[in-house]
Amino acid sequence: MSDVDLRSLTDDDAKLIEAAWAEHGVLFFRDQPLTPEQHIAFAERFAPIDVNKFFRPVDGHPKIAQVLKEADQITNIGGGWHTDHSYDQIPARGSILLAQEVPPSGGDTLFMSVAAAYDALDDELKERLVGLEARHSNEHVFGTGGKAQESYGDRLNNPEQTGGAVHPVVVAHPTTGRKLLYVNAAFTLGIVGLDQAESDALLHRLYEHMVTPEFSYQFQWEPGSIAMWDNRSTWHWALNDYQGHRRLMHRITVQGEALSPAA
């Protein structure tokens, strides 16, 4: 969105942004030099803040998570397609990510619409998904010995606070009612009631379909850029193509509501 200053929104402006967020899944803003206090105030216009248990917070601002890769670090946070917080029984509504330092090139983020991906499924597969539920967990990622704890070191905290949840495979967006494919390769473990081989085959088929380029968009960051995404209706992937350079982002996540199966 252009010609908007997120530091001085009217209530009507905020309502327009909220409606666009629900409709489109992700919004982008340029040239928004928000202080941490302004970042928090903007996020709290939409919902209370969901403080992430695992990301190291910004000093003095526990509501803001630090998403950091130093120049000498190899692994980035958020590499690979995923959606945040699907492992919570009441998943977070979405996140507002503010670029502080970006590399001279690279470090873009891909966003993908799980609503568009669902719409493009054939009728037979849509029918197969009716009534199915999936198990989600973060233990294999953020838990002790998990791949993130091994890769990210002291950039993450609290491996003992992992957990899991069960959600419908196809959910209704809480605001628009649009049908969404609510599974992802990072945190979905399997389909309830299917043996592992059948579950893996079905999820692989869905993931192969969902990563079709027509459903995604690549966003190039600049200092002061903001991406505001809906965790229910999008996936995202932070590209790790800037070795030898520092990238620092401030992320605020806001609370959502329990998800219901699509009618």
Q: What is the structure's pLDDT at 169?
A: 98
Amino acid identity at 227: A
Q: What is the structure's pLDDT at 161?
A: 62
Q: What is the structure's pLDDT at 2?
A: 59
Residue pair 218/60 in contact (Cβ under 8 Å)? The answer is: no
CA angle 55/58/64 to nearest 5° reads 70
Q: Where are the beta strands (DSSP E) in 102-172?
A: 109-113, 133-137, 164-168, 170-172
DSSP letter at 185?
A: T
Residue ranges in the chain whose pLDDT is less than 50: none
Q: What is the structure's pLDDT at 158?
A: 62
What are the C-alpha distances in Å from 20 to residues 28, 47, 124, 257? Answer: 11, 15, 31, 18
Query: Residue 29 corresponds to which tokens in the numbers above?
Result: 């803003």
Q: What is the structure's pLDDT at 52?
A: 83
Contacts of 197 (CB under 8 A, 6+ apart): none
Q: What is the structure's pLDDT at 145?
A: 64
Q: What is the structure's pLDDT at 252?
A: 98
Could you give the residue numbers annotated as active site?
A: 82, 84, 236, 251
Helix, strand, coil percent values for the chain (each to nearest 5): 25, 30, 45
Count of residues for the chain? 263
| Domains within the chain, CATH numbers bracketed | 11-261 (3.60.130.10)
Contacts of 70 (CB under 8 A, 6+ apart): 246
What are the C-alpha distances in Å from 190 to residues 111, 122, 195, 204, 206? Answer: 23, 21, 9, 11, 12
Q: What is the structure's pLDDT at 139?
A: 83
Q: What is the structure's pLDDT at 63?
A: 96
